[in-house]
Structures are given as structure tokens and as C-alpha cells.
Amino acid sequence: MNKEAEVKLVQTPAKKRKKRSHSLERKTARGGYLFTLPFIIGFIVIYLPVVFESFLYSVTTIERINAGESYQLIWAGLANYREALFSDPNYVQILTAGLRQLVLDVPAILIFSLFIAVLLNQKMVGRAAFRAIFFVPVILSTGLIAQIDTSNTSLMSYMSDTEGIGTNAAKSTSVAEIVSAMDIEYLFSNMKIGGGMAKYVSQILNNIYNIVNRSGVQMLIFLAGLQSISPAIYESCNVEGASAWETFWKITFPMISPMILVNFIYTIIDAFTSSTNSVMSYINQVYGEAGKDTLSVAMAWIYFAIVIVFVLLAAALMSAFVFYQRRD
Amino acid sequence: MNNAQTEVKVKRETKNKIRVEFDRTPFWQRMKAKFINKNFLTKLIWAIFRYVILIGISYIILFPFFTKISSSFMGPEDFVDATVKLIPKNFTFDTYKYIFLENKYMQALGNTALLSVSAALLQTFVCAMIGYGLAKFKFRGNKILFLLVIFSMIIPHQTLQLSLFMKFRYFDVLGIIQLLGGGSSWFPWFNVTGGTTSINLTNTYIPLAMLSATGLAFKNGLYIFMMRQFYRGVPNELEESAYIDGSGIFKTFLKIILPLSIPMMITIFLFAFSWQWTDTFYTSLFFTRTSIVLMKNVIAIPESLNITYAGSNMYNAAIRNTCGLMIIAPLVVIYLFCQRYLIQGIERSGMTAD
């Protein structure tokens, strides 16, 4: 009798605790599902079918029946892909040019945005004003405005001497290129670096408006990363007598490296939606032509597949050099 | 010994006050010691270098806006006059006036404001919710769900353009509408004609509302990511104490977590709003008819200004840029008020990519 009572006394709290922890676990799990429910529903009902159908359209042709009220898919196999790669006169050419442009632009955007983020992170007079100015393109130079800017190219060729920053300047005849290719070649010839590099740098400098416009979000992400580095590390570096250059390469760069990876992927994905993307604008043009909409889908998938393979390879390579600080 | 005595003269003036006179180093010598040394000079050079670069790039960013603004006040004669640079000679408001009157600007403003504000509010709230769910709750599939968010971010919607259009042109959720047999009595406002097995949602606000409500609209993956990183930095004790006080999960979220995350939410609202405001992709995809006037329809040359002369090429470009200026005018106002929060929100997010 006594023994039984004792056993009961011992058992009950254990049982209770177990039960409660179980219910709490279930409660938090239920909360998690409830909060993410919109995304789960959307992903299953809209997103997955859309991605799947996009694949499906790339191997079919669409025939609208019943006066456009419904449609029929006709199996076409790899015909769309074959047409994109072998029959279309422009696609492969534009694709290679676009990919080359992407490879050239991405490092420039990354380096520029990191550089500016480091500058804007320092304490100085007018920092808030500079930050406000640097984020103007993120808010104001997207979508419609970028479209207007690119449509100004006819204006540009009309005023051939405003190649540099006046890309969308209606009235800037007095502004010449910021830096001419000659200057850069002269600089680099003294440094014994090849002409290709000089050409690349001068190209970037004259395209700087475009690069500044496209590096706003990256700058924000880098700034956030820089803010999260503890000032104590810099202090101890200073005490040990490290120069600013050493501090950057030994502290800032490794600490910011996860952000570099994030920004690398973001930049490439962002390039898809950029109005200066020649491949996407060509695909849009094909999409607009009658009866070629599924061809444009195949083209988009080819482009996306190449880029994503490139991104994954580069990300795998970069992740070996990324430094993660353990904060426990 | 003697020197020390001469340097410091002690004058006893009164009983309690003692006045000491030092031989102070001369002013110029002190200035020299302070400013002409390696430390100060390198600092100075860096500061100059920094300001030159920052001001130069600010100029690059702002200069196009200056030229747009100045050319928007120019009359047509100014575009053939070689002496006119940035300051208009024939100052006029005609460009603004005719765009305002003939391009249905107010109608576009109203429609776009309705669309952008509702889409941005919905996206901000939904992304905050999803980000909170991903950051603070342990449940089976949490990590997979986060990967799916990233996945939805990396497939650009441009690739899915046709299927997004077809999805909403012939909308049907898992065959439910097909089962109803085109029940026009159920959805009279969808304009379903007899015998069809799907509904046409294009030219309505519904596709964008659905995408926003499910966290799948433009760059929502980025917003969810940002919100998740932010909520990971919020200490668990806050919610735990709320739970102990008897508050439920949703009440805790609404009363404690949401007010905390207002700077971050303003950042996201600003992004969502301004990107929706100037968006061309979704508006041209889902609004094929011109009966719903949106901002993209404003960009046109007004009839009264459509003249052909030597400078019409540049004049038309100036008019288009003026349209652009009028489109972004509300955004500029909002940006001026919110940019403080934008930077604060980003700083507080303390993003770590793990």
C-alpha cells in the first residue's frame, strides 16, 4: 500500500512534465505551420504548378480554342529547344554576349558595393546625407524609370559626346566621358597589366551609372553585415598596431565573406530582372511574337539553366573561402 | 635647479588663492604639434579622398535627375538652341500641364496608389508572418520551407512569365471550378460565360493580391529572408514571458513582436511599395487592356505637345522623362520621410548568412 502510494507520488510529476513538454512542442509546431501557412498554400496551389507548367509549355505548343476561352497543349518534344539553339538566328549570339556581360558586371557590382559600404560605414560629417543619396537608385531608378532611361538610347546616339554619365541626360552636351580609355591604358601600361584589363576597367568606369544603379540593395546588405562586426575586434586590432589596410583584409573581409556570397547570388538573380539584360529583352520580344510564346519559355529555361549551373559552381567554390563566426 | 625656479613663478595674491604662471608653449608651436604629424596628415588625406569619391558618385546619381528636372521646364525652342545647357531659356510648365491633363495622370495615380499600397501592406504583413514562423518555431519541415523560400527567390519570374499569365488567364484551383461547371451564379463578377471551365482573372487586381497574400510576389523571398534574420535576433524571453502571462501565439505576435519590428517593416514596405509603383513586369503581364489606367500608361507624348521639328527627338525624350518625374514624385516624398527608417531597419537586421 505504502509502496504503491510512493510509486504514484514519484511517477505523477514525471508524467505531467512529459505531457506538458509534448503539448508545448505540438503547440509551437502548430504555430509554425499557422504562421507559414500562406506560403505553404501559395507554394502548393500557385507556385509549384506554375513552375511545372512552365516546363510543360517549353515542350509543347499552345493552341487556343473556343475563341480564346480555353486552350489545348500539343506535345512538341524538344522542338522548342532545338529551334532556340539551332534555328533561331539571334538567340545563341545574344545568349553568349549576355552571359559574358554578366560575368563582367557581377564582380564590378560586388567590388563597387563593398567599397561604398565600407566608406559609408565610417564615421564622418554628412554620413546620413550620403547614405540617403546612395539609396536613391534602389527606390527611384527601377522599373518604369529604367525603361525610360533605356529608351533614351536614341537620344544618346544623337549626342555622341555624352557617353559617360549622361546616359539619360536630355541636356548634357558639355559632359564628356569621365575617364577616357586612353588614360586608363596609360595608367596600366606603367603597371605592366594587359590591354584587356585596361579595356575592362574603362568600360566599367564609363558604365558607372548603370553599376551604381544596380548595386543599391547589395550596398544595404553589406552595410548590415559591416554593422554586425563587433567594434571590439577593431579596437584590439588598433591596439596591436595593425594598419587600416591590414585590418580590412584580416578582419573586415573574412567577416563580410558570407555577405559576399549572398550578394553574389542576389546580383545574378537581380540581373535577370534588370532592364539592361539583353537576353531577357530578346526573350520578351520573342514572347510578344504570335505563336512563339512557348519558344520564349524554352529560351528562358536554357538561359536560367546555364546561369544557375554557373551560380551553383561559383557558390560551391566560394563557400570554401567563406568564414562563419560561431556565436554561441 | 635655477631654471625650474624661474619657469614656475608662484605669486601669492591672497591668503587662499595661489596663482601659478607657466611658460606656455607658443600658439604656433602647439598647432604644429597637433596638425603636422603623420597621423593627422594621413587622416586628412583619407578624408579628402573619401569625400571626393562620395561626392563624385553622388553627382553621378543625382545628375540625371537634375537634367530631367531642368529639361522638363524647357520649351520646345530650347532643344534647338545650342546655348541652352541646364538652365531653361523659355521657362514653361506646359509639359507638366499637358501630361497632367491629357495622359489621365490622376486616374493612373489613383489606381496605382490603390494597387501599390494594398499590395505593399499585404506583402509586408505576410512576409513578417512567414519570417516569424520560420525564425521562432521549431517544426518538422522548417528548414525545407526556408529552402523553398530561397528557391522561389532564385527562379526569376521572367522565366515563369507565360505560365503565370496562363495560370491567371485560365484560373482554376485544383479543378474546383471545373467541378462547378462554370457556375456563373457563384461568381457573377468574374464574367464567366456558359460552358467554360476556368475564370479569367487578368485585368483585375486579383492575381497580384493572390501573389502578395501568399508571399510569392516580386522579391518577396528577399523580404521573408530579411524578416527571418531580424526575428532571429529578437530574444526568446520576450515571447516566453508573454506566454506565461497567458497570451496566445497570435496575440503575442500582434501585440509584442509586430510593434518591435516596425523599422524593419517600414524598410520592407518601402521596397515593396516603390517596386510595385514603378513595376512594369506584372502590370503589363496581368493588365492587358488599357481600360485600367496605371502608371505605365502615363508614359506617352501628349497630343498638344506632339510637334515635329528639328529638335523633336530630344523634346520627346524630355517629355518622357517628365512623365517619369511625375510618376516618381510621390515616391520621392515618401522616401524623404522613410529613408531614416530604411537605414535603421537594415542596421538592426544584423543579417548573418548562416
Test B164 with A50 for CB contact under 8 angstroms: yes
For residue A217, the enclosing domain spans: 79-319
Sort residue A26 into left (φ over 0), alpha (ψ -120 to 50) or beta.
Answer: alpha
* Number of compact structural domains in chain A: 1
The reply to whether A58 falls in a domain is no
pLDDT in tens, A41-53: 888 888 888 888 8
In single-letter form, the type of residue at position A239 comes to V
Question: How far, in Å, CA of B261 to CA of B132, rounded?
Answer: 10
Please compute the mean of the pLDDT values over residues A116-137 and round it to a whole number: 86
The reply to whether B212 falls in a domain is yes
Q: Does B143 touch chain A (CB under 8 A)?
A: no
Q: Confidence band (pLDDT; 50, 70, 90) for B182?
A: very low
Site of grid cell 525624350: B317
Q: Does A285 touch chain B (CB under 8 A)?
A: no
Say what the alpha-carbon torsion angle A307, B214, A45, A300 is, to the nearest 10 degrees: -20
Residues of chain A neighbouring B156 (CB-CB closer than 8 A): 269, 272-273, 304
Which CATH number fits the domain that encloses residue A89?
1.10.3720.10
The answer to whether the beta carbons of residues B155 and A300 sit under 8 Å apart is no
Please compute the mean of the pLDDT values over residues A44-72 and round it to a whole number: 78
Residue B296: closest CA among B266, B276, B269 = B276
In single-letter form, the type of residue at position A297 comes to V
Measure in Å the smallest separation between the Cα of A7 and chain B Cα atoms. 31
What does the pLDDT read at residue A111? 92
The reply to whether B20 falls in a domain is no
What does the pLDDT read at residue B42? 86
Question: How far, in Å, CA of B181 to CA of A84, rounded?
Answer: 39
3 state SS of A195: helix
Chain A contact probe: residue of B62, B67, B284 with most A CBs at under 10 A: B67
Most confident of the following: A92-96, A198-202, A272-276, B167-171: A92-96
What does the pLDDT read at residue B37? 83
Which residues on neighbouring strands pair with residue B9, listed in sequence order? B21
Query: At residue A15, does pLDDT exceed 80?
Result: no
Question: For chain A, how far is it from start to end, CA to CA, in angstroms?
Answer: 50
pLDDT in tens, B211-248: 889 888 888 888 898 888 888 878 888 888 888 888 88
What does the pLDDT read at residue B350? 52
Cβ-proximal residues to A157 (8 Å cutoff; 6+ apart), any chain: none
Q: Does B69 touch chain A (CB under 8 A)?
A: no
What does the pLDDT read at residue B187? 45
The answer to whether the beta carbons of residues B268 and B227 sit under 8 Å apart is yes
Mean model confidence pLDDT for chain A:
76
Question: How far, in Å, CA of A35 to CA of B257, rounded?
Answer: 13
The answer to whether the beta carbons of residues B266 and B289 sit under 8 Å apart is no
What does the pLDDT read at residue A151? 62
Task: Please state the length of chain B.
Answer: 354
Please compute the mean of the pLDDT values over residues A131-139 and round it to a whole number: 84
Q: Does B212 touch chain A (CB under 8 A)?
A: no
Question: How far, in Å, CA of A227 to CA of A219, rounded?
Answer: 12
The tally of CA atoms less than 13 A away on the side-chain side of residue B187 is 19
Segment 3-62 of chain B within 8 Å of chain A by CB: 46-47, 50-51, 53-54, 57-58, 60-62
For residue B224, the enclosing domain spans: 103-298
DSSP state of A64: E
Query: At residue B178, does pLDDT exceed 60?
Result: no
The answer to whether the beta carbons of residues B191 and B200 sit under 8 Å apart is yes
Q: Does B142 touch chain A (CB under 8 A)?
A: yes
Please compute the mean of the pLDDT values over residues A130-136 and round it to a whole number: 86
What does the pLDDT read at residue A156? 45
Test A57 with B162 for CB contact under 8 angstroms: yes
Test A151 with B320 for CB contact under 8 angstroms: yes
**Percent of residues, chain A, with pLDDT higher than 70:** 74
pLDDT in tens, B110-168: 988 999 999 999 999 999 999 999 988 888 888 899 888 888 887 877 778 888 888 88
The reply to whether B146 falls in a domain is yes
pLDDT in tens, A281-318: 888 888 888 777 788 888 888 888 888 888 888 888 88
**Is A144 or B40 the better-scoring residue by pLDDT?**
B40
Q: Which of A32, A165, A171 sits opposite B70 (nearest CB)?
A: A171
Mean model confidence pLDDT for chain B:
79
pLDDT in tens, B239-253: 888 888 888 888 888
Q: Confidence band (pLDDT; 50, 70, 90) for A236?
A: very high
In single-letter form, the type of residue at position A310 comes to F
The reply to whether A306 falls in a domain is yes
Q: Does B213 touch chain A (CB under 8 A)?
A: yes
Chain B contact probe: residue of A127, A171, A286 with most B CBs at under 10 A: A171
The answer to whether the beta carbons of residues A106 and A268 sit under 8 Å apart is yes
Cβ-proximal residues to B164 (8 Å cutoff; 6+ apart), any chain: A50, B157, B207, B285
Q: What angle do CA B216, B219, B223 make, to 5 degrees?
A: 90
Test A296 with B162 for CB contact under 8 angstroms: yes
Query: At residue B354, does pLDDT exceed 50?
Result: no
Q: Confidence band (pLDDT; 50, 70, 90) for B7?
A: low
**Percent of residues, chain B, with pLDDT higher than 90:** 7
Chain B residue with CA closest to A293: the answer is B162
Test B211 with A42 for CB contact under 8 angstroms: yes
Site of grid cell 522542338: A79
Q: Does B168 touch chain A (CB under 8 A)?
A: no
The reply to whether A9 falls in a domain is no
The answer to whether the beta carbons of residues A272 and A99 sit under 8 Å apart is no
Test A225 with B133 for CB contact under 8 angstroms: no
Residue A107: closest CA among A226, A201, A181, A243 = A201
What does the pLDDT read at residue B119? 92
B94 to B296, B305, B313: CA distances (angstroms): 21, 8, 18
In single-letter form, the type of residue at position B134 comes to L
Question: How far, in Å, CA of B136 to CA of B242, rounded?
Answer: 14
* Number of compact structural domains in chain B: 1
Task: Please state the length of chain A.
Answer: 328
Q: Does A54 touch chain B (CB under 8 A)?
A: yes
The reply to whether B225 falls in a domain is yes
Chain B residue with CA closest to A136: the answer is B61
pLDDT in tens, B187-197: 444 444 444 55
Q: Which three cell numbers stand for residue B160?
A: 515563369
**Percent of residues, chain A, with pLDDT higher than 90:** 4
Question: How far, in Å, CA of B298 to CA of B320, rounded?
Answer: 9
In A188-226, which positions are buried (b, 16+ CB within 10 angstroms) versus exposed (e)? Answer: beeeeeeeeebeebbebbbbbbbbbbbbbbbbbbbbbbb
Please compute the mean of the pLDDT values over residues A169-181 and round it to a whole number: 46
Please compute the mean of the pLDDT values over residues B15-39 and round it to a whole number: 77
Q: Does B184 touch chain A (CB under 8 A)?
A: no
Site of grid cell 505576410: B126
Question: How far, in Å, CA of B176 to CA of B207, rounded?
Answer: 17
Query: At residue A89, does pLDDT exceed 60?
Result: yes
**Is A254 or A149 the better-scoring residue by pLDDT?**
A254
Q: Which three cell numbers stand for residue B345?
A: 531597419
The reply to whether B292 falls in a domain is yes
**Percent of residues, chain B, with pLDDT higher than 70:** 82
Query: At residue B28, does pLDDT exceed 80?
Result: yes
What does the pLDDT read at residue B230? 82
Three-class DSSP labels, chain B: CHHHHHHCEEEECCCCCEEEECCCCCHHHHHHHHHCCHHHHHHHHHHHHHHHHHHHHHHHHHHHHHHHHHHHCECHHHHCCCCCCCCCCCECCHHHHHHHHHCCHHHHHHHHHHHHHHHHHHHHHHHHHHHHHHHHCCCCCHHHHHHHHHHHHHCCCCCCHHHHHHHHHCECCCCHHHHHCCCCCCCHHHCCCCCCCCECCCCCCHHHHHHHHCCCCCCHHHHHHHHHHHHHCCCHHHHHHHHHCCCCHHHHHHHHHHHHCHHHHHHHHHHHHHHHHCCCHHHHHHCCCCCCCCHHHCCCCCHHHCCCCCCHHHHHHHHHHHHHHHHHHHHHHHHHHHHHHHHHHHHHHCCCCC
Helix (H) or strand (E) holding A72: strand A70-75
CB-CB neighbours of A314 under 10 Å: 16
The answer to whether the beta carbons of residues B77 and B90 sit under 8 Å apart is yes
Query: At residue B53, does pLDDT exceed 50?
Result: yes
Measure in Å the smallest separation between the Cα of B351 and chain A Cα atoms. 6
Please compute the mean of the pLDDT values over residues A79-107 and round it to a whole number: 85
Question: How far, in Å, CA of B250 to CA of B157, rounded?
Answer: 32
The answer to whether the beta carbons of residues B347 and A227 sit under 8 Å apart is yes
For CA atoms A212, A217, A223, A229, the dihedral sign is: negative
Residues of chain B neighbouring A227 (CB-CB closer than 8 A): 347, 350
The answer to whether the beta carbons of residues A179 and A165 sit under 8 Å apart is no
Test A29 with B137 for CB contact under 8 angstroms: yes
The answer to whether the beta carbons of residues B298 and B99 sit under 8 Å apart is yes
The answer to whether the beta carbons of residues B223 and B120 sit under 8 Å apart is no
Which residues on neighbouring strands pair with residue A73, listed in sequence order? A62
The answer to whether the beta carbons of residues A74 and A60 sit under 8 Å apart is yes
Q: What are phi and psi of B201, to 5 degrees?
A: -100, 0
